[in-house]
Amino acid sequence: MFITIIAALCTLAFLALRFVLAQSAIRFLVDSYGLDRRKLKRLSRRDIASLKRSIQQCRQKNDPFALETLLRPYRP
């Protein structure tokens, strides 16, 4: 019984942390690039991580046109 409660609490803590990290990533994209929060909420957690990686690659290559093309679907 005690182990079941501990397992449930650990699972709840894991899910809460995952939710907070996803919201933090969305907030970063909204604040940094002016993206639409509603459009980003439709994306999965993996899609948001992939979008952040793609943005970082475009910034490292110093390619503003690719960056704009990448971000355009998510702008308001």
Query: What values do phi and psi take at 36, rounded to 5?
Result: -85, 125
Comparing CA positions, the residue from 45, 69, 46 lying closest to residue 57 is: 69
| Tokens representing residue 47 in the block | 């899609």
Residues spanned by the domain of 17: 2-74
pLDDT of 2 reads 86
Q: What is the pLDDT of residues 11-22, one digit of tens each?
A: 999 999 999 998
pLDDT of 64 reads 92
Confidence of residue 1 (pLDDT cuts 50, 70, 90): confident
Residue 35: is it exposed, middle or buried by C-beta count within 10 angstroms (0-12/13-18/19+)?
buried
How remote is the C-alpha of 8 from its chain's centroid? 25
* Number of structural domains in the chain: 1
Q: What is the pLDDT of residues 16-74, one digit of tens each?
A: 999 999 899 999 999 999 999 999 989 998 999 999 999 999 999 999 999 999 999 99
pTM of the model: 0.79
Contact 48, 74 (CB under 8 A): no
